[in-house]
Structure 1
Amino acid sequence: MLGLLETKREVITKYDVTRIWGSSAVGLEFVESVGAAGGLLLMWDDLFFQKRNCYKGERWLCIEGVLTTMKFHCALCLVYGAYGREGKRVVWEELSYIAGLCQVPFCLFGDFNEILQVEDRKEVNSLPATAEEFKEWVQDMQLIDLPLSDRKFTWFRGQSCSRINRVLINIKWAEKVPDIRLKGGPRGLSDHCPLIVEDARVRGGPRPFRSLDSWFTHVGFLRMVKTEWRSLGDAPFPCKLKALTTRLKKWHKDNFSDMDKRLMMFEDEIKKLDTMDS
């Protein structure tokens, strides 16, 4: 399951999502942006999750269905918190209603635009009124705030740092999946760090094949692919794909190795700054 906030898209098509996901076996639901502001998108692997229902609000997107590998009936809700006090209250009330409507184990995740404790914001000595209300709502809903395993803050802007991105699960979810953990991914050029939820019992499998948009703008890319594919003749399709992948790695190194180094350098600099602020 992958959730994206601030898509800034009024319409999102299956073609758009297939390009992001890398496969046509992907399901999607979205909340359109208002002009170039906002927008939410949920994507999932159709082989592992079967959608039953979908509910939408201006600042949240909820899908109810079954995780087929576990036969786990659940609901997942992507949240993009409001800014003003009244707007936040409206979002929390709507989420309470949806959780009660679904009556299944549920997980709320995203940018709640609010802290839960003093330690969630740099150089803060007391909780603002909206944070106290958010804390009361979390307690009333009997939600569990998954702890971050590798960082303190998730949002950075100048000297300001906060943990406003989080994952909240109810007790039923925790009982069904007790070994989940939450970590933050590299934030790249964004103000926010992505959140990654993992089952601690699951070990990673083979890495999926990925492409870069920059490949398709390179003048020699398509010519190289056609030449390599034809040179493989009548070999079985999986063998041709494997051989082409090997060739693509070499071609990428020959043409984009400098870009990889520069991106890694920028990511390292961002990580150092995040560590200093944490």
Structure 2
Amino acid sequence: MNEDGVMLADGFNTHEEDEVGRICNEDADITSRKAVTYNQLIDGTRVSMRNEDQTLIEEETNATVLLGRNLGAVNLESFHAQGIKEASFVLLQETQHSSLERVDISGYWGNGGFNHEFVESGRYGEVVNILNVYGPQGVNEKRLLWDIISLLVETSNGLWVVAGDFNVVRSKEDRRNSNFDASSAKDFNDFVEEADLHEYSLKGNRFTFCMGTKMGRIDRIFVCWSLFNKWQAAEYRALPRFRSGHCPLILKTESRNFGPKPFRFFNSWLDRTDFDKVVELANGEYMGLGPPDLFLMMKFKFLRQRINKWKDEKFKMEHEEQLGLQTELASLEETLMDRDLVESEQWVWEEIKKRLYEIDEFKFNDLKQKARNN
């Protein structure tokens, strides 16, 4: 035994004794409280140790077993036999405890050197905050309400749905036969942008409120950006009104009405000589008003309509052209059976085949792109 109180096994040479002593001296706090017995050394590297930590682990294991029994577990006698003495953590499930208010976890582990996490029993989902709004008539009162809602949305956790009668419109197109207050509309649009609220495309009635001949879209359902992205295919619809002047609004996050077919752009359109002109004319002719997001959405809709119209007309013309060229080609082939084609006929023959190949290539590329995207 050396001066550090470490007992060495038989067969150690002086160099190995110095090495063991150096290792022990690297942590004086550990060696001062542990009596280490070296039972065997294989190839100078493998050491089996028994010290006070083993006792602490056994105590902690016993406390864990006690915790399991208090939480309703049974048949824990095999806990030790399965090597749990060397465990660094323990997982317990289905304890049927709704809370740990009456359970002192620290008393079960044996000391304070541990952490724990606990989830109450029950069903869990994402928090959705729903705010039912009735907008005041006064301009100052409206501004105050917008500030309160913005602060509430910003400082609260979870998803947000802000809906109701806001008594204000976002653009001039949202009113008919009634006065449009540009200042209030600007305040309202600033509030929607600041609170990061978004609105799905409304289906059904264009106006949600009607009194006599006065109409307006003052009822809305806004959602936060996270909810908007989570349910992008949600259905937002204004239902028919009966005795009330307001249309009921409905928002379905699981839409069974998939709406119109999605707009699909084919690369072959770029090879048509008149496609660029169609886009340029549509871009220059569009005249829209309203908030930037609605303006952009309506502009895309206008452009899509123009492209679809061009596409239908173009495909119809190409189909009729293809039929005519095929008829003309068949006529030249009949002529070729009787005699050779003259130079002008030969030129027509080549141009027809070239054009038919071009039309077929457009169709083939469209089919290939469609198959790749499906």
Compare CA radii of gyration and give the structure with the larger one.
2
- TM-score where L is the length of structure 2: 0.34
Structure with higher strand content: 1
- TM-score where L is the length of structure 1: 0.45
